[in-house]
Chains A and B, each alone.
Chain A
């Protein structure tokens, strides 16, 4: 029987994936467990293994193409077996079309009743795997998907299930904008007409200054390309963060003399354990030790129907932002409050190295409760970071700059850096943020306090 090779779903929030390249080619003999292709998701690059042994046939999604998860990418056939009928894209085999045109997801095979039920329940058939003959999606598949969607928390709606009123849908359709990403103010997050109107107004306001670029004489037209993969996810998430979270920021200056001295002193010991003792490690250590005492900041704020749910975590899952060539990823150190200095340094080093290689497991970028973003290696004195929802706070770290510091008698040169905490003002009051910054400043200026 033909075994479909599908775009896998690695993470809960993953909606689509991009084929990087095929490692096996059309007609190759493959064994179960062989790596067939590499795919890129929002967060990580992954390998897709053969689920069966046979001949790889009917490759229909080429390198660079992005498709929804569970889309059939190819089939593994038994020798002599023909491709399932819907799996022979005639245009593809007879006359290879340009890549732009073949980027469309393949037609979905589903029974009429399944189609009707899926339409009624707003389920995207392209995201289902059919259990019927030839991979046909049956009534049972739709029922199972509907049940799964019903059980999913409202805060993370199933892909393709945007809750919106007909009026909101019409407005979005007329304006030619997608509904997902527009925050819904109706019951259970339903997108209302007013939400779309607000969104359109915001778009119009932001688009105005660059509405009509006037090319200068002889100006070479730049090529516009749609954002894809991680870039697109970053764009969507940051827009959501910026538009839906009332950010408030707090900045404190920290005299890093003692911290820096301590770091230099312990560096050889940490390095002897095969890790690097960077300023980020020390900051991460301080933050991880302090957060349990400041649970309001080690928290998630999530919409649950009309309610906003605040979850304060006892465990610190510390995200440390890592810059990539094109993008950014935040690997998470789970249970960071339990780790000693050397262990923490090892974890951070390992995760950031693998992050740069694109070699992180999905769970290594999930479930963060607080994030640190350090630009101290650049000549950036101070910046504010955008919160990564559902987290309620993020710490932006600037560079340590030599500055005169008054010690009661005279000015001393000291490396001073600025810490800027961005907090979700719905969940975090100024005093709470200030108390955390005060503690953090105290332990960094006098690291012995970490022993307290």
Chain B
């Protein structure tokens, strides 16, 4: 059975289900308790699970990441919320040098099973320091998994899957998705990490998109379908480790690929995807260059119109897709 939930509700449900099921799971972060989280995601969990398991913390992201790492090493299953992904910059040492490496450096004697949830993305007028999409920084670090759900159902299932996973997982939520509604299955329904999903089938063009861009790609696909262009939308869902084969299979089928993500293009995940596709058996099926549509290489502007222009919109995806299919450029 499924019912309609928002993305935020789906995440909250996953946290509650995991906490009910496993005493080792606890939630902590800035304002996650009394205030219910900066975006209301953890609303009501303090009342339900008490201050022992839902902990408000000081504003100290470096410490929070260290606490998550230490608690995980001692056998807990922490869920840490970093209020804005921008502030993960303060946690880098703990995440990159400690959490990501300790299992390796200690000969596999410890697991670091924590989940760091964090809202990313522009579109709220929150300017350059509250709008970052930094997922690719962590994609680059061996020892860390990176998950970016695009739908309420994926948010719930993948969060449960991330909590089960014995490794540090960066779970990147998108601010503009929190209120987005969709069918969500009831009960404890984890989705294993590293399962790419085809969100829509089509024969003419593959769009590989992440997070909010999946929704925009699906909307663009509707418009393009009316012009006779059948778009296949593929959502990696877990950026690392990536389930490559469905992407490769899709490109082999369509012969054209457009990669869409919100993070800045240079050094972004699209480059990795493009290289994987170009280096795979799909190469011999490409009938057009691999194209990327991504955020402009600039800080997110405060001005709402500029902010909008900086990030790929539905019409941008339609234009790029049309060009690729009709003109091969």
Q: Which A residues contact B (CB, under 8 angstroms)?
A: 165-170, 186-187, 190, 192-194
A111 to B149, CA, bound (A): 49
Instruction: Using CB atoms, name the residue of chain A closest to B329.
Output: A187
Q: A168's closest neighbor in chain B, by CB?
A: B287
A186 with B328: CB separation less than 8 A: yes
Bound-state Cα–Cα, A187 to B328, Å: 7
Contact partner, B284, options A170, A190, A194, Cβ 8 Å: A170
Check: B39 CB closer than 8 A to any chain A CB.
no
In the assembled complex, the CB of B230 is this many whole angstroms from the nearest CB of chain A, namely 16
Q: Does B285 contact A166, Cβ atoms closer than 8 Å?
A: yes
When chains A and B are docked, how far (Å) is the Cα of A170 from the Cα of B284? 6
The answer to whether A166 and B327 have CB atoms under 8 Å apart is: no
B285 cross-chain contacts in A, Cβ below 8 A: 166-167, 170
B255 CB–A CB distance under 8 Å: yes
Chain A nearest CB, measured from B274 CB (Å):
13
CA A186 – CA B285 in complex, angstroms? Answer: 15
Can you list the 6 inter-chain pairs with the closest CB atoms, starting with the nearest? A170-B284, A167-B287, A186-B328, A166-B286, A193-B287, A165-B287
* A167 CB contacts on chain B under 8 angstroms: 255, 284-287
In whole angstroms, what is the CA distance A165 to B284 when docked?
8
Q: Cβ of B283 < 8 Å from any Cβ of A?
A: yes
Chain A residues, CB < 8 A from B329: 187
The winner among B283, B284, B285, B287 for most chain A CB atoms within 10 A is B287
Known A-B contacts: A165-B328, A166-B285, A167-B285. Give 12 more (CB < 8 A): A165-B286, A165-B288, A166-B283, A166-B286, A170-B285, A186-B288, A186-B328, A187-B327, A187-B329, A192-B287, A193-B255, A193-B287
**Which B residues are in CB contact (< 8 Å) with A187?**
327-329
List 23 A-B pairs, Cβ < 8 Å. A165-B255, A165-B287, A165-B288, A165-B328, A166-B283, A166-B284, A166-B285, A166-B286, A166-B287, A167-B285, A167-B286, A167-B287, A168-B287, A169-B284, A170-B284, A170-B285, A186-B288, A186-B328, A187-B327, A187-B328, A187-B329, A190-B328, A193-B287
Give B residues with C-beta under 8 Å from A: 255, 283-288, 327-329
- List, in ascending order, chain A residues with CB within 8 A of B288's CB: 165, 186
What distance in Å separates the Cβ of B228 from its nearest Cβ neighbour in chain A? 15
Bound CA–CA A208/B169 (angstroms): 61
Q: Which residue of B lies closest to A166 (CB)?
A: B286
Q: Which residue of B lies closest to A185 (CB)?
A: B328
Residue of A166, A170, A190, A194 with most chain B CB atoms under a 10 A cut-off: A166
- Give the residues in chain A near B255, CB-CB below 8 Å: 165, 167, 193
Residues from chain A with Cβ under 8 Å of B328 in the complex: 165, 186-187, 190, 192
Report the separation of the CA atoms of residues A192 and B329 in the bound assembly, to the nearest whole angstrom: 12
A165 to B288, CA, bound (A): 6
* A169 partner residues in chain B, CB cutoff 8 A: 284
Chain B hits for A193, CB < 8 A? 255, 287
Report Cα–Cα, A167/B282, bound state, in Å: 9
What is the distance, in angstroms, from B329's C-beta to the closest C-beta of chain A?
5
- Give bound CA distance, A165 to B287, whole Å: 5
In angstroms, how far is the closest chain B Cβ from the Cβ of A16?
A: 28
Contacting residues, chain A, for B286 (C-beta < 8 A): 165-167
Q: Which of B283, B284, B285, B329 neighbours the largest number of chain A CB atoms within 10 Å of its CB? A: B284
**Which chain A residue shows the least CB distance to B282?**
A166
Residue of B nearest to A173 (CB): B284
Distance (Å) between the CB of B322 and the closest chain A CB?
14
Whole-angstrom CA separation of A193 from B286 in the bound complex: 9
A169 to B287, CA, bound (A): 9
Q: State in angstroms the CA–CA spacing of A168 and B288 once bound together.
A: 10
Q: B278: nearest residue on chain A (CB-CB)?
A: A166
> In the complex, A166→B285 CA distance in Å?
6
Q: Specify the chain B residue showing the minimal Cβ separation from A184.
A: B328
- Shortest Cβ gap from B13 to chain A (Å): 45
Q: Once the chains are docked, how many angstroms separate the CA of A167 from the CA of B328?
A: 12
Which chain B positions have C-beta within 8 A of A190? 328
A170 to B282 Cα, complex, angstroms: 11
Chain A residues with Cβ below 8 Å from B327 are 187
Q: How far is the CA of A166 from the CA of B329 in the complex (A)?
A: 14
CB distance from A168 to the nearest CB of B (A): 7
CB distance from A127 to the nearest CB of B (A): 25
Chain A residue at minimal CB-CB distance from B285: A167
Task: List the B residue with the shortest CB-CB distance to A306.
Answer: B327
**Given the complex of chains A and B, what is the CA–CA distance between A193 and B253 in angstroms?**
13
Residue of A nearest to B327 (CB): A187
How far in angstroms is the closest Cβ of chain A from B328? Answer: 4
Q: In the complex, what distance in Å separates the CA atom of A314 from the CA atom of B286?
A: 45
Shortest C-beta distance, A36 to chain B (Å), equals 44
Which residue of B is nearest A169, CB measured? B284
CA of A375 to CA of B285, assembled, Å: 49
User: Smallest Cβ distance from A356 to chain B, in angstroms?
Assistant: 47
Which chain B positions have C-beta within 8 A of A166? 283-287
Q: Distance in Å from the Cβ of B76 to the closest Cβ of chain A?
A: 50
**CA of A194 to CA of B255 in the docked complex: distance in angstroms?**
11
Distance of A303 Cα from B10 Cα, bound (Å):
57
Taken together as a complex, chains A and B put the C-alpha atoms of A166 and B289 apart, in Å, by 9
Across the interface, which residues of B come within 8 angstroms of A194, CB to CB?
287
Query: How many whole Å from B229's CB to the nearest CB in chain A?
Result: 15
CA distance A192 to B287 in the complex (A): 6
Cα distance A186–B255 when bound, in Å?
A: 14
Query: How close is A303's CB to chain B, nearest CB, in angstroms?
Result: 15
Q: Which residue of the partner chain A has the closest CB to B328?
A: A186
Q: What is the minimal beta-carbon distance from A367 to any residue of chain B, in angstroms?
A: 33
A137–chain B nearest beta-carbon distance, Å: 27
Task: Determine the distance from Cα of A165 to Cα of B327 in the docked complex, in whole angstroms.
Answer: 13
Q: Smallest Cβ distance from A7 to chain B, in angstroms? A: 33
Give Cα distance in the complex from A359 to B284, angstroms: 46
What's the Cα separation between A190 and B288 when bound, in Å? 10
User: What's the nearest-Cβ distance from chain A to residue B205, in Å?
Assistant: 13
Q: Specify which chain A residues have a CB less than 8 angstroms from the CB of B283 in the assembled complex.
A: 166
Q: Within the complex, what minimum Cβ distance (angstroms) separates B45 from chain A?
A: 51
* Bound Cα distance A194, B204 (Å): 13
A190 to B289, CA, bound (A): 11
Distance of A75 Cα from B255 Cα, bound (Å): 48
Rounded to whole angstroms, the CA-CA distance of A167 and B289 in the bound complex is: 11
